[in-house]
Amino acid sequence: MKLENKVAIVTGGIRDIGKEVSLKLAAEGAKLAINYYSSSDQAEDTLKAVKALGAEAILVQGDMTNQQDVQRLIDETQSAFGNQIDILVNVAGGIVARKTIAEMDEDFFDHVIKLNLNSTFLVTKACVPFMPEGSSIINLASQAGRDGGGPGASAYATAKGAVMTFTRAMAKELGPKNIRVNALCPGMISTTFHDTFTKDEVRGNVAAATPLRREGHPAEIGDIVAFLASAESSFLTGVNLDTNGGLLFS
């Protein structure tokens, strides 16, 4: 197991991509602190699945845009597993709603930015002092950060584009400490995100235009995260990895 005895924090780690990330890291031997915001029943189901793989894990409820909740996540992780944090995966985020610029107000725009960008900043800042050499940070950006997103996703795309830039900046800043920082930019992944916010017709059109002719699966994102968390990717940092079945190249 390539992550044996490593301590990992996964924000937004109980459903879809976050859940598959938690399961994959657990299968590779990591000890997990899994953050969630709501849906305690779903959180318990994810914890049960992680523990079924033989992993040590805890759940920590909290809003990752709130500094006190972020600090509690760090405190409970260290109480369970010790001071060292080896892996951070920033999954927490979301589109919230599709709105054109005419439909959104400043409060909505600020909320989407905070949910996706500020959360990544706050958790990263809190974790870095406890990350030893060889640690890895993986951020979840989006194809929207590359191409501006679909209709009504301008705030989300802007936030994810900022996550990509933050990833590059942190790779430079933390590289001398041998802490690697990378991001994934998923395209159309089969999740409740798209079940809620993307029409079936649009999903079908995107899949048909994708060279692999399908949507991606959350487990495939989990596999890539595990690779980026491990020593197998020890010379990769500052990468915003396109994960879209060939739909968009960068």
Tell me the pLDDT tens digit for each residue of 48-91: 999 999 999 999 999 999 999 999 999 999 999 999 999 999 99
- Residue 59 backbone phi and psi in degrees, to 5: -105, 140
Q: What domain range includes position 153?
A: 7-188+219-242
Q: What is the pLDDT of residue 9?
A: 99
Residue 162 lies in a domain: yes
pTM above 0.85, yes or no: yes
- Average pLDDT, rounded, for the chain: 96
Q: What is the pLDDT of residue 192?
A: 84
Q: CA geometry: angle at 46 spanning 21 and 202, to 5°?
A: 60
User: Mean pLDDT across the stretch 14-43?
Assistant: 97
Residue 203 lies in a domain: no
Residue 48 lies in a domain: yes
H helix intervals, 53-153: 67-81, 106-113, 119-127, 144-147
Q: What is the pLDDT of residue 196?
A: 81
Q: Which residues are catalytic?
A: 156
What CATH number has the domain bearing residue 173?
A: 3.40.50.720
Domain count, the chain: 1
